[in-house]
Amino acid sequence: MAPPDSLPPKDMPAANAARRLELARGYAAAALAALDARELPPQPPNFALFYDLAEGSRPDLRMAMEAAETRGPLDEGAMGALANRFFQPTAESMLLADALSRINHTLQEALSLVTDHGAEAEAFGERLVQIAGVMSPEPKKLAEVLRRLTSETGAMIERSRQTSGRISESAGLVESLRAELDAARQQALTDALTGLPNRRAFDDRMAGAIAASDASGKPVALLILDIDHFKTVNDRFGHPVGDAVLRRTAQTMRAALREGDLAARTGGEEFAALLPATKLEEAFEIAERLRLAIAAQTLTIRATGTKLGDVTISIGLALRHPGETPVQWTKRADEALYRAKQEGRNRVVSAEPRKAVSW
């Protein structure tokens, strides 16, 4: 038995609870202060974001928040996008819950059918035994036994046919639900506006790219790009025109990147690309080709013939370092993007030192 002075004090649970309450109040106060400093309303989603930020257990949230603030003051749209990314249930998860409920109901019905059919088969066997017990060589009695045997057998065959049909229907329903889940998963991984993979899909593919790079020893490059002065486009021409610019940017990315590269829309006017098995200079050339392709476009509003003027992008480039986490890698690319913005926009900035290039 431990000596008395090594036992925890009786009031230790109460002390721990008081400490947790004190910490929670501190996080809440920090969240409210952060909202007040940014002139954001303390609505539940906004408060939850800054509470988790103050609590400090979500480095991915901190990185996303910092990246959002480098693009300008946080507004209702930016906060809504962050809340949807970190707190809202996905359409896939909601459909999954519904599908699991329906599959469970279908399987219960199928199990009941099989159980009932088993009981019927057992009863049928007992009746056959009874019939066999009254077998007789007399023609009349034999004819009656054969009639009963034919009747029982025919009824059992019909019940088996019905049961088989209902089980087939259940199997078809389960297969239909599986197809719905596959479609929902694909939808959950696709940006509805541009048709590109979304942030969730990009994060999944990034993990795979890191594993492949570690296994092969080949470098992998990350591009993070942002449409310059996109808020001005929305403010001046309206969100439908802004949406058209986003769709055109996505189309240009698909055309400029190589087969095997991954382009994604990661939020708002921000896009990203993964370039597997790509060295620094090649990655820089691809990024520059993409930047020039965007800048060369002439965008005109069909209804009015108004030209939008130059639409350009800034790009941050980073090669992954050995042992680097996705958060660390993305942070360096984000920092390179921020420098591209600071240096005048419409340019590619690399997080890695590059050799001088003669022109």
* pLDDT tens figures, 213-223: 999 999 999 99
Give pLDDT, residue 341.
92
| 355 falls within a domain | no
Instruction: Report how many domains make up the chain.
Output: 3
Query: To the nearest whole percent, how much of the chain has pLDDT over 70?
Result: 64
Residue 334 near residue 67, CB atoms below 8 Å: yes
Would you say residue 260 has pLDDT above 70? yes
| 356 falls within a domain | no
Give the span between the Cα atoms of 312 and 194, in whole angstroms.
18
Residue 209 near residue 318, CB atoms below 8 Å: no
Average pLDDT score over the chain: 78
Would you say residue 359 has pLDDT above 50? no
SS3 3: coil
Domain encompassing residue 237: 199-350
Same domain? 96 vs 31:
no
Would you say residue 103 has pLDDT above 70? no
Give pLDDT, residue 303.
74
Catalytic residue among 92, 269, 270, 335: 269
Spacing of C-alpha 25 from chain mean position: 32
Same domain? 70 vs 170:
no
Mean pLDDT of 2-18: 49
Boundary (domain end) residue, out of 188, 207, 242: 188
Give pLDDT, residue 25.
83
Same domain? 235 vs 283:
yes
Structure confidence by residue, pLDDT tens digits, 73-94: 888 888 888 887 776 555 555 5
pTM, 2 dp:
0.56
| 113 falls within a domain | yes
Same domain? 323 vs 272:
yes
Look up the CATH number of the domain holding residue 332: 3.30.70.270
Q: How far is CA 310 from CA 245, 298, 313, 341, in A?
A: 11, 7, 10, 16
Same domain? 346 vs 230:
yes
| 312 falls within a domain | yes
Give pLDDT, residue 189.
81
Going 6 to 11 to 12 to 15, the CA torsion angle's sign is negative
Query: What φ, ψ does residue 195 adopt, rounded to 5°?
Result: 80, 0
SS3 316: strand
Give pLDDT, residue 336.
94
Highest mean pLDDT of the ranges 122-126, 309-313, 349-353: 349-353
Give the span between the Cα atoms of 173 and 164, in whole angstroms.
14
Concatenating the DSSP letter of every residue in 124-181 gives: HHHHHHHHHHT--SSHHHHHHHHHHHHHHHHHHHHHHHHHHHHHHHHHHHHHHHHHHH
Task: Respond yes or no: is residue 269 known to be catalytic.
Answer: yes
Would you say residue 358 has pLDDT above 50? no
Give pLDDT, residue 6.
39
